[in-house]
Structure 1
Amino acid sequence: MLKRNKLFILLSIVFVLFLSACGNGSEHTSIKLAEVTRSLFYAPQYVAIEKGFFEEEGLDVELQTTWGGDKTMTALLSDGADVALVGSETSIYVYAQESKDHAVNFAQLTQTDGTFLVAKEPKPDFTWDDVKGSIFLGQRKGGMPQMVGEFVLKKHDIHPHQDLELLQNIDFANIPSAFVSGDAEFVQLFEPTASVFEKEGKGHVIASFGEESGEVPYTVFMTKDSYLKENPTHIEKFTRAIYKAQQWVAENSSEEIAKVIQPYFEDTDLDILATSIERYKNQDSFATDPILEETAWENLLNIMDEAGELPGDAPYEELVNTKIAEDIMNE
């Protein structure tokens, strides 16, 4: 009788382990995610990973940083990534090339520009006219930071290529150091670099391009049209995890968010992370839901057109999918 009980217990354990192994194999899906850069601006994405929201959806997300819009889209289109987090303007550039399998924007992460105007010297009485005649260190031609920068300057009756000396020959990663060592009086910087410069006395934040330019689909999760059609459930689970993270970020303090995402910014002090996140929260940079509204899309097209970078038609109904996000929000 004792041997029979032992055998029953052993068989039960083996059966449970077998079911567990089968369950793990069927429930978890690998998603290759390419982010255009490592940025505090993408805080909700790191929250989704660190708080286990992807895992709750049965997703194993493999995050890679691809450093640049062109490289990120190459990774997506060549199946090096299933999902890309990148500026939505890149999907427009791909569509204009008459791609047979274009990229579809399905979940918005940030809804404003993420750069700040930083000056070498304090300017307590700053007006945009102060920029005229200056040496201005800009961003890459055709990228969202530069297009938004030019849009804001024109909004204040400043022609970026006539009324100032605009420098655009510096790689994105080297812009901060070039500003410190060079002659430029103004620069566009993302956080946490802007706050670090303030703390170290290397620069002074005097204006926000995000506040000046209004709502725009600045960084968006996208996938190929074919992947979306073949794997709708994967994208649905991915979007649900992002929505959970967006809500968590909206409901928690900048200090708490900073603690969660600090592993992604090990070289940055916790207080700088919190200050930077607070700046973004105060100007509503983090989208609180994944829906990319048509009005924001039209603002993007206007910004691109003003910069002379709009390559052609960019139909909202073909390049943006809101149904997945809407269904999730209505659950």
Structure 2
Amino acid sequence: MFNHLQERGANCQDPGNRLPRAGVAAPAPAHYFDVHPRDRRIPVAITLIENFRAVFYAPFYAAFVLGAYAAEGVEGDQRPSSGPAETAKALLTGGGDVVWGGPMRVLVAGDADPDCGLVSFCEIVERDPFFILGRGPAPGGGFGGIMDKKVATVREVPTPWMCFQDDLRRAGLDPDALDRIPDRSMGENADALAAGEVDAVQVFQPLAENLIEEAGARIWYTAAERGLTSYTVFSTTRAFMAREPDSLLRMTRAMYRTQKWIAAHSAEDFAECISGYFPDMPPEALARSLDRYLKLGIWNRTPILKREGFDRLRAACISGGLIREGIPYEVAVDMRFAETALREDPDSM
């Protein structure tokens, strides 16, 4: 029933498998790097790796459709990753220049090798986009009321469980005591909830919206309400950053201009903009999914990755045993391009 609503991954064909070719843009304003900025009328090529297809990645798709990259003189290939776990490896082995995905991958790579050279430079998703949905009203007692329920958690990627188990620990609870099903897909879990085989599931949009509409599920916990938890960023290698700083500034400016557009438009406008990336999803369902995310404020309004959000994610990955210590904000994050974009204050798309 719900399997078709899972992320489409590497097999998804998007409306255009290449970034729009660059048009003529205004000359670059002065900025603050120790390089001479190239004329933005001269396009630069970037290979951008898509982690997987998901509604909470909507700003990335909007940037393509709105022509934000072209406006900044960026052209290049948009390539699907062979899988979320392979994305960081693709960057390190030259399979791409920039990836959008979780800073968790930078933390994991840096934990294994502090000199790996991966770095995040522009944040887009600053709050956790997952939910715990259950059958019937949420149990009393906060997280304590969930502990005696059978809960199916996300298998596809580790960050949702890392964050939720950390929430439980901070509430004084033992996540190992949770009656948890960890090894089924979100689509399978959604079907299980609809069939009454589990009490609650951990899912993102549009599965959450569809379970509410079609199966009468209730939201028991909205992870975005935890506060800042850095979830999705642009990342690259230190080597590429040193070689192509102006290209990364252009990408950051393009995303900032897209963020401004999103802040000024409705969920319906947003859904119409990116609908080509979700051809199997009814427009109304896409708009509802985006509207809930907009109201929760999961998308950053600027490219700045705040230390608070990074530290919360890092702490969750440590408490869950995904990493030992990780790498600090100063090593994993470089905000020079985001800070410059804010100073330059480009127009909205």
Considering fraction of residues, name the structure with more helix: 1
Q: Which amino acid in the other structure matches residue 165 of structure 1?
A: D
What whole-Å deviation, never above 9, does each CA across 1:257-304 have from its counterpart, x for those lacking one? 010011111111111111111111111100101111122222222222
> 40, 63, 81: which one pairs with 2:55?
40
Q: Distance in 1 between matches of 2:282 and 2:186?
A: 22
Counterpart selection for 1:204 from 203, 207, 218: 218
Report whether the alignment pairs 1:272 with 2:285: yes
- Cα deviation, 1:5-52, whole Å, max 9, x if unaligned, reads xxxxxxxxxxxxxxx9xxxxx822332211222111011111110000
Residue in 1 aligned with 2:337? 324
Matched, 1:27 2:20: no
Quick check: 1:188 aligned with 2:202?
yes
Distance 1:313 1:118, change over 3 A: closer
Secondary structure of the 1:132 match is: coil
Residue identity in the other structure for 1:183: E
1:207 counterpart SS class = strand
Cα distance, 1:33–1:176 mapped onto 2, change above 3 Å: farther
For residue 168 of structure 1, the aligned residue among 153, 163, 182 is 182
Find the counterpart in structure 1 of residue 104 from structure 2: 89
Larger Rg: 1
Q: Give aligned pairs, total.
A: 307
Residues 217 and 300, structure 1, Cα contact 8 Å, conserved in 2 = yes
**Paired residues for 1:84-123 under 5 Å:** 84-98=99-113, 100-123=115-138
- Deviation per CA, 1:232-252: give whole Å up to 9, x if none: 111111111011111111111
Alignment match, 1:312:
325
8 Å Cα contact 1:69/1:87 also seen in 2: no
Is residue 149 of structure 1 aligned with residue 176 of structure 2? no
Question: Structure 1 residue 56 and structure 2 residue 71: aligned?
Answer: yes
Normalised by the size of structure 2, how large is the TM-score?
0.81
Q: Distance in 2 between matches of 1:125 and 1:271?
A: 32
* Uncovered stretches (5+) of structure 1, i.e. residues with no partner: 1-19, 21-25
C-alpha distance in 2, partners of 1:105/1:216? Answer: 14
Q: Which residue of 2 aligns with 1:139?
A: 154
- Output the CA distance in 1 between the equivalents of 2:106 and 2:282: 35
Corresponding letter in the other structure for 2:313: L
Tell whether the 8 Å contact from 2:156 to 2:185 is kept in structure 1 after alignment.
no
**Equivalent position SS for 2:176:** coil
1:54–1:61 CA contact under 8 A, matched in 2 = no
**Structure 2 alignment gaps of length 5 or more:** 1-23, 25-40, 345-349
Overall identity of the aligned pairs, in %: 27
Whole-Å Cα distance in 1 between the matches of residues 56 and 157 of structure 2? 20
For the residues of structure 1 that align with 2:252 and 2:167, how far apart are their CA atoms?
A: 32
State the distance in 2 between where 1:214 and 1:113 align: 8
The answer to whether the Cα contact below 8 Å between 1:258 and 1:273 also exists between their aligned partners in 2 is: yes
Segment of structure 1 superposing worse, 99-108 or 280-289: 99-108
Rounded to whole Å, the distance in 1 between the matches of 2:78 and 2:137 is 39
**RMSD across aligned C-alpha pairs, in angstroms?**
2.5
1:255 aligns with 2:255: no
* Contact 1:31–1:60 (8 Å) recurs in 2: yes
In 2, the alpha carbon distance for the partners of 1:181 and 1:63 equals: 38
Tell me the secondary structure at the aligned position of residue 60 of structure 1: strand
- 1:48-94 per-residue CA deviation (whole Å, 9 max, x = no partner) reads 10000011112124223326431111221121121111110110111
Q: Distance in 2 between matches of 1:319 and 1:125?
A: 39
Question: 2:239 maps to what in 1?
Answer: 226
8 Å contact 1:35–1:67 — kept in the other structure? no
8 A contact 1:152–1:209 mirrored in 2: no
Task: Answer yes or no: is the 8 Å Cα contact 1:141–1:168 preserved in 2.
Answer: no
Letter in 1 for 2:342: M
Cα separation, 2, equivalents of 1:41 and 1:304:
21
Secondary structure in structure 2 of the residue aligned to 1:91 = helix
- DSSP-derived class of the 1:161 partner: helix
- In structure 1, the residue matched to 2:347 is none
Secondary structure at the residue paired with 1:27? coil
Between the aligned partners of 2:330 and 2:343, the Cα distance in structure 1 is 21
Q: What is the one-letter code of the residue matched to 2:318?
A: D
Deviation at 1:99, TM superposition (A): 5.9
Change (3 A) 1:210 1:61: farther
**Distance (Å, rounded) in 2 between the aligned partners of 1:109 and 1:199:** 28
Which amino acid in 2 is paired with 1:201?
Answer: A
